Amino acid sequence: MLIKILGTGCAKCQRLEQLTREVVAELGIDAQFDHVRDMPAIMAYPVMSTPALVIDEEVMVFGRMPSKQEIAGWVKAA
């Protein structure tokens, strides 16, 4: 599983990465993380704002901070 955090490195982007890493660890899932900070690379995805969470190249959420339960649901379904 490849999980990408799209964002320039703001506090919300870092918090999203931290929450997602916690969920993955709690579920015992093997995943690779990539924090995409490059604006042209972020703009390649259909997102209007950051932070954004992408799991296996599917955008799950952007522009808001999801709950740990939401993240867990997306990770389990992927």
CB–CB of 13/64 below 8 Å?
no
Question: Is 43 annotated as catalytic?
Answer: no
CB–CB of 23/71 below 8 Å?
yes
Question: Is 10 annotated as catalytic?
Answer: yes
Q: Which domains does the chain have, with CATH numbers?
A: 2-77 (3.40.30.10)
Tokens of 23: 């969920």
CB–CB of 16/59 below 8 Å?
no
Q: Which of 1-5, 8-12, 72-76 is predicted with the least confidence, judged by mean pLDDT?
A: 8-12
pLDDT in tens, 8-65: 989 999 999 999 999 999 999 999 999 999 999 999 999 999 999 999 999 999 999 9
Which of the residues 3, 13, 42, 72 is marked catalytic?
Answer: 13
Q: How far is CA 10 from the centre of its chain?
A: 14
Which of the residues 1, 2, 9, 10 is marked catalytic?
Answer: 10
